[in-house]
Amino acid sequence: KEVCKPFFMDSLRRVLKGNTEVLSERQEICASLRFIDVRNSSIYADEVMAITNQQAMEEGRWIVDTSRIYVDLDGLNRWANDELSEDYARFRDLLDVNLDIEKHFDALLNDIINDNSFTKNNILSQDESDVVLLDIFSRLSDEFLNNPVFGLDFYLSKRIRHQSFIGLIRGPLEFSHVITMQENDVYQNNTYWMSKLSFNDYKSQQEALALFISFSENFDNLLLNAKDRKFHILSKEYPEGLIYPTYNENLFEMMRIVPRIEESDLLDDFLLLAYPLLWNSLEPSLFNARTYIDSVLKDNISRLIDELKYKIQELTISNAEQREFIATLNSASSEVQLSLEEAKNWFKRKNDSELTKKLFALEQVVKIATESALKCQKSFEPVIANDIHDGDVLLTASALVFVHDVLFVALDNARAHSGLQKPRVKIDARIESDNKKLSLKIVTSTDRFSKQSNLKKIQEIKTAINNNSYGSNSKKEGRSGFIKIAAVVKQSN
């Protein structure tokens, strides 16, 4: 019971790969110990339950982080059935059932798997059915990427660009007081470290003061450039956007052949084929986004932090406070690098089929969602109280991600608009008695100076939501959190 603890078993990397296997092994050990050490059976039973809950929490956090690259395919299905059904019926009518398929399906699939070129190709139409098919696929692709309610760019805005990325990367430096905030478009002086460090002379003190401000500005500019220019769908509006589809001839050949060998005339069956191809077309650009974070951002941020460290060392007297600053900066730098690694993994698409099997209690959902939201707002310290009534109903992974989105917006608003560093936040979450609705109510304290201004802004946003007049604002950042939630909620009763 003492030797076979996760802390020690974690070293058995050749046998137990990763934290999940370590915890599962510990559960089995505890289950055996219940019968060997009967007197302490209840203690082992409690640990088994605690590990089960910990595993659920870790799975939940993984689900939230791997759901950032996402398209609501149910919403896309509804759009396709409304907009493409007639065109698809026409395409089926135009098909030449006697078409001689030159490539066998298995050979074509093998070509696609082994094709690593992924360059943009001009796909030449073979006949009129191909023209119609290409038009269908093109319109489907555009909605898949750009629809303001269920498309990829909507979720990029909602789950990556809307504070998540900047909050996650900036958090460690903000928490350690190395980086400062802006006030009226001007960075505040770093009074925390300026008051602790001892400087060589007055000139050195002034240089350090300016150095902290320029560091904050340069660091934020790197993150803002990524958020505002890079993490977008490539378009005329965003010419530096890193996300775009790349189609090759084999992929389109697959689109041509499968409808010809499938007996079904249903659009839904065609969509089941099209969606994996659309996701496949994004893989090269998602890889490029990960590479951008892994090389450009990591290297530039490391350089900025190193420059700050060495220059502050030159400007200050070597003493305990200087050593404390260096240690704090080194620790924060390591956290920033880990956060960048985490953000890099956001640009990997999850396996939807794996997530449909996961179920969570509402209390777990709220806890996971809160922890994940606060991870991107590290220096924010709300005092949170939960009131949860679940009616013994288990929720799916998609519900978990939705609750995360809601709580992220609520807590981000509390951080930005309450006027308080530690506002009181009460989260009321319940499954309604008919077991058909999840109700979330979040109440936040605010200072008296912010309240009236906030209420006015909220009323403007409510009016826009009630009038459905928010349009493409759901894909933008800044005063759009409620609108993003509304865009999802309004799709379902």
pLDDT one-digit tens code per residue, 444-472:
998 888 888 888 888 888 888 888 776 66
d(CA 478, CA 493): 27
Q: Convert the pLDDT of each residue in 15-29 to its tens digit.
A: 777 777 888 888 889
Q: What are phi and psi of 418, to 5 degrees?
A: -75, -25
Q: What pLDDT is recorded for position 97? A: 46
Torsion of CA 144, 146, 147, 149, to 10 degrees: 110
Residues facing residue 316 across a β-bridge: 199
Q: What pLDDT is recorded for position 126? A: 57
Q: What pLDDT is recorded for position 243? A: 94
Residue showing tokens 């209390």: 363
Q: What's the one-letter identity of residue 492?
A: S
d(CA 123, CA 131): 10
d(CA 20, CA 54): 10
Q: What are phi and psi of 237, to 5 degrees?
A: -70, -35
Task: Categorize the per-residue pLDDT at 322 as very low, low, confident or very high, splitting at 50, 70 and 90.
Answer: very high
Task: Categorize the per-residue pLDDT at 98 as very low, low, confident or very high, splitting at 50, 70 and 90.
Answer: very low
d(CA 472, CA 154): 9
Q: What pLDDT is recorded for position 219? A: 96
Q: pTM for the full model?
A: 0.74
Torsion of CA 416, 421, 426, 429, to 10 degrees: 50
